[in-house]
Chains A and B, each alone.
Chain A
Amino acid sequence: MPDQLLYAIEAGLNGLMAGVLYALVALGFVLIFKASGIFNYAQGVLALFAALTLVGFQNGQIPFAHLLNAIFGTDLHEFGWHLPAIVAIVLAGGVMVLLAIVIERYVLKHLVNQAPIILFMATIGMAYFLEGLGDIMWGADIKKLDVGLPQGINETIDSVTYNAFGYGFFIDNLDIVASVVAAALVISLTIFSQYSKQGRALRAVADDHQAALSVGISLRFIWVLVWSIAGFVALVAGIMWGSKSGVQFSLSLIALKALPVLMLGGFTSIPGAIVGGLIIGMGEKLFEFFVGPMIGGATENWFAYVLALLFLVFRPQGLFGEKIIERV
């Protein structure tokens, strides 16, 4: 095979893997939008907050230590323990459930039956609040996240492709793990959404808050449930992205990578998030490979949006989104 073709295949495969990581973030948006009709602006910050909490627990960091030291003149920093990753993940998951309860209790409960734009604005407020809270709780320094996930080139793929084509493909072990985790998440969430009682209740709430209430569905429970699940998905996304770059504020910006995925895949489809992620990931990497060198590179950020917009021209609801017809 010609070298250029091999390189293009490698870029495409890596794009697919990157797309899975984008999809992990997009999934959180889809879950909340599907269940409550809210576009959750705070989803990226949830991932940051979850990852900060995870690292904080793992390293035995005392939350709000800087604040306490400043107020009381103490010298608190760490508890002195180092928790196993799985324990820290469970505890961080617990914090995300608590956060979901707090969000429902103090924000969403007061906004039942409000227009979507009001709920959207509330999530913007939450995003800024959580950013600040994360900073005050855990500090703004970059933290190394190590939950035992493998990283670096996959030797098997490298050697197999080298023997077959004379060029070893680079595929990151972390990306492979992310793909497996994302697949498992999508399958389980799809089953939950389609076949469980709570899943059907989620969809009913999404269609009409008041109608759902009138048939006995507890809106408050459903919102806590869906925000908890979205929090868990944010934790998974935070682990994957945090393992790549350390845990710091930029993690919240990964939401920007999820937006074109949502536009393309549709805001209401869990499989759509995955397919959208794959198309965006592969599209941007191949565009960067073929066209990037001709126009100075760094095309990925804007090309993802161009690609999503192109799809929108032909399918405004996204590939898998629901076509909403409003009769006046």
Chain B
Amino acid sequence: MKKTLTAIALAMAAATPAMAELVVPNLSYRTGPYAPGGIPYADGFNDYFTLLNERDGGIGGEKVANPECETAYNTEKGVECYEATKGSGALVYNPLSTGITYQLIPKVTADGIPLYTPGYGRTSAANGKVFSNVFNYPANYWDGASVAITHLLSENGGDLSGKKIALVYHNSAYGKEPIRTLQELSKKHGFELVEIPVDHPGQEQKSQWLQIRRDKPDYVLMWGWGVMNAVAIQEAANIRYPMENFIGVWWSGSENDVLPVGDGANGYKSLAMHGTGMDYPVYADLKQYVYDAGKASGAGDQVGSVLYSRGMYAALVISEAIRKAQELAGTSAVNAAQVRDGFEALEITQDRMTELGLPNFGQAFASSCEDHGGPGNAMIQQWDAAAKKWNLITDFIAPDDEVLTPLVMEDSAAYAAENNIAERCN
């Protein structure tokens, strides 16, 4: 019996990520009400690292391990996952949750580990002078809100004065993120902003959509996640709200959100910070080295979806930051502090995206000590219910930095004052 237990213990020790040189924990959620969003993201994230391991032998010759820890999109569990995995030599965290991000910011800063939150998390973390260990490029929530308004401006000849825009949002730290920006933009452009919260999980939204039916806003923006998205789109279809005037953030723009609504979702729009689908050369390699080799993450049925693409994109940026860190440190076995430096010095050009097999998939950006947020550009995609696919209907649209930069500075300065943080990069 003792021998058996010893053998099991040895086998388990051998299976732990301690064998790998580069540990990138995957704080995922494959269970709970937000699992339909968490699963494809986690699969895309894992599959990209598997591709690097199988095709290239890892990054700079070092294999990458992605130990998964289940957060169920629960902030307490997310923090537990962080505490449980940081001792394994974790190089970077990407928890796919704004709530978890808020809790981890002081922890990663104290522990010297970078936190990468593309398209989510604390927007003002874009200010690298205050948030040394947090990176949220290529775009954040405030960029998204601004891009949506810029898109509406372009549809209205540059004038939104007198228009009414409703924001339907998840009543959480995440959902409330764009409010401040939209309030500022409403002052600048003269539109009326109506804020309509929806409580977790958002299964019942009749009151909210009756209000929209009564108020008749010209446009509806949505900051939703999970079941809230599909229910909102269904309710919009029920009250015959014109779908082309309904725009969700990128977290409200996956197949999960529109497929359950069927034809009623046709024409619904959402922001997109990257391309989607399988028309990219990288998929040939993924097929050869990952899918056909039986090494796909999860059930392997999420390939090419919006959230799979986003998870893959996050993994790509992280792997490039590690590569940069290796280059800067002159060693392949980098530690978390060196990876943080890699994130700060990272530049991804379109040429590099093409080399990586994802031409025009995401925007080019360069990070710096001051700027951890990137350009913040986003596209608009529209759902075609008959073809069951998203079509990009705009090119990348730039956010209004004239409004956003002061907001980022104000919010980050307040955080710095609260936490006695001295500005860096001077």
**Which residues of A pack against B, CB within 8 Å?**
7, 10-11, 14-15, 17-18, 21, 65-66, 69-70, 73, 77, 131-132, 135, 139-146, 151-153, 170, 172, 241, 244-246, 248-251, 253-254, 257, 284-285, 288-289, 292, 296-298, 300-301
Residues of A within 8 A of B201 (CB): 250, 253
- Evaluate contact between B234 and A245: CB separation under 8 angstroms: yes
- Determine how close the nearest CB of chain A comes to the CB of B298; give it in whole angstroms: 8
- Evaluate contact between B299 and A142: CB separation under 8 angstroms: no
- The CA of A296 and the CA of B226, in the complex, are separated in Å by 22
Known: A66-B299, A250-B226. A285 touches B207 (CB 8 A): yes
Choose the segment among B10-18, B25-33, B318-326 that binds chain A (4+ C-beta atoms closer than 8 Å).
Answer: B25-33
- Evaluate contact between B196 and A297: CB separation under 8 angstroms: yes
Residues of B within 8 A of A18 (CB): 204, 206
Is residue B106 contacting chain A, with contact meaning CB distance below 8 A?
no
- The CA of A289 and the CA of B298, in the complex, are separated in Å by 44
- Evaluate contact between B230 and A140: CB separation under 8 angstroms: no
Q: Which residue of A lies closest to B262 (CB)?
A: A144
Is residue B245 contacting chain A, with contact meaning CB distance below 8 A?
no
Residues of B within 8 A of A253 (CB): 33, 201, 203
- Determine how close the nearest CB of chain B comes to the CB of A299; give it in whole angstroms: 9
- The CA of A70 and the CA of B294, in the complex, are separated in Å by 9
- Determine how close the nearest CB of chain B comes to the CB of A105; give it in whole angstroms: 27
- Evaluate contact between A144 and B259: CB separation under 8 angstroms: yes
- Evaluate contact between B231 and A244: CB separation under 8 angstroms: yes
- Evaluate contact between B33 and A297: CB separation under 8 angstroms: no
- The CA of A10 and the CA of B214, in the complex, are separated in Å by 10
- Determine how close the nearest CB of chain A comes to the CB of B299; give it in whole angstroms: 4
Listed residue (A144, A152, A285, A297) with the most chain B CB atoms within 10 angstroms of its CB: A297
- Evaluate contact between B230 and A142: CB separation under 8 angstroms: yes
Is residue B272 contacting chain A, with contact meaning CB distance below 8 A?
no
- The CA of A286 and the CA of B195, in the complex, are separated in Å by 19
Is residue B227 contacting chain A, with contact meaning CB distance below 8 A?
yes
Chain B interface category by residue count: 35 or more
- The CA of A253 and the CA of B214, in the complex, are separated in Å by 29
Is residue B9 contacting chain A, with contact meaning CB distance below 8 A?
no
Residues of A within 8 A of B207 (CB): 11, 14, 284-285, 288-289, 292, 300
Residues of B within 8 A of A145 (CB): 260
Is residue B75 contacting chain A, with contact meaning CB distance below 8 A?
no
Choose the segment among B87-95, B235-243, B374-382 that binds chain A (4+ C-beta atoms closer than 8 Å).
Answer: B235-243
Residues of A within 8 A of B264 (CB): 151-152
Mark out the residues of chain B between 203 and 255 whose CB falls within 8 Å of any chain A CB in the assembled complex.
203-204, 206-208, 210, 213-214, 226-227, 230-231, 234, 237-240
- The CA of A249 and the CA of B72, in the complex, are separated in Å by 12
Is residue B152 contacting chain A, with contact meaning CB distance below 8 A?
no
- The CA of A248 and the CA of B256, in the complex, are separated in Å by 10
- The CA of A151 and the CA of B235, in the complex, are separated in Å by 10
**Other A-B pairs beyond A248-B33, A248-B36, 9, CB < 8 Å:** A14-B210, A139-B299, A141-B256, A142-B227, A170-B238, A172-B206, A244-B234, A245-B231, A249-B31
Is residue B197 contacting chain A, with contact meaning CB distance below 8 A?
yes
- Evaluate contact between A170 and B35: CB separation under 8 angstroms: no
Residues of B within 8 A of A140 (CB): 30-31, 35-36, 39
Out of A7, A77, A135, which one reaches B31, CB within 8 Å? A135
Out of B171, B240, B261, B262, which one reaches A298, CB within 8 Å? B171
- Evaluate contact between A241 and B203: CB separation under 8 angstroms: yes
- Evaluate contact between B36 and A151: CB separation under 8 angstroms: no
Is residue B198 contacting chain A, with contact meaning CB distance below 8 A?
yes
Mark out the residues of chain B between 256 and 284 whose CB falls within 8 Å of any chain A CB in the assembled complex.
256, 259-262, 264
A-B contact pairs, 13 of them (CB 8 A): A18-B206, A142-B227, A142-B256, A244-B203, A244-B231, A248-B35, A249-B33, A285-B206, A297-B196, A297-B197, A298-B197, A298-B199, A301-B199
7 closest cross-chain pairs (CB), A and B: A246-B260, A298-B197, A250-B227, A140-B35, A250-B33, A288-B207, A66-B299
Out of A10, A142, A297, which one reaches B259, CB within 8 Å? A142
- Evaluate contact between B199 and A144: CB separation under 8 angstroms: no
Residues of B within 8 A of A249 (CB): 31-33, 35-36
- The CA of A250 and the CA of B262, in the complex, are separated in Å by 19
Out of B36, B195, B202, which one reaches A142, CB within 8 Å? B36
- Evaluate contact between B238 and A296: CB separation under 8 angstroms: no
Q: Which residue of B lies closest to A168 (CB)?
A: B213
Residues of B within 8 A of A297 (CB): 195-197, 208
- Determine how close the nearest CB of chain A comes to the CB of B144; give it in whole angstroms: 22
Residues of A within 8 A of B299 (CB): 65-66, 69-70, 139
- Evaluate contact between B203 and A245: CB separation under 8 angstroms: yes
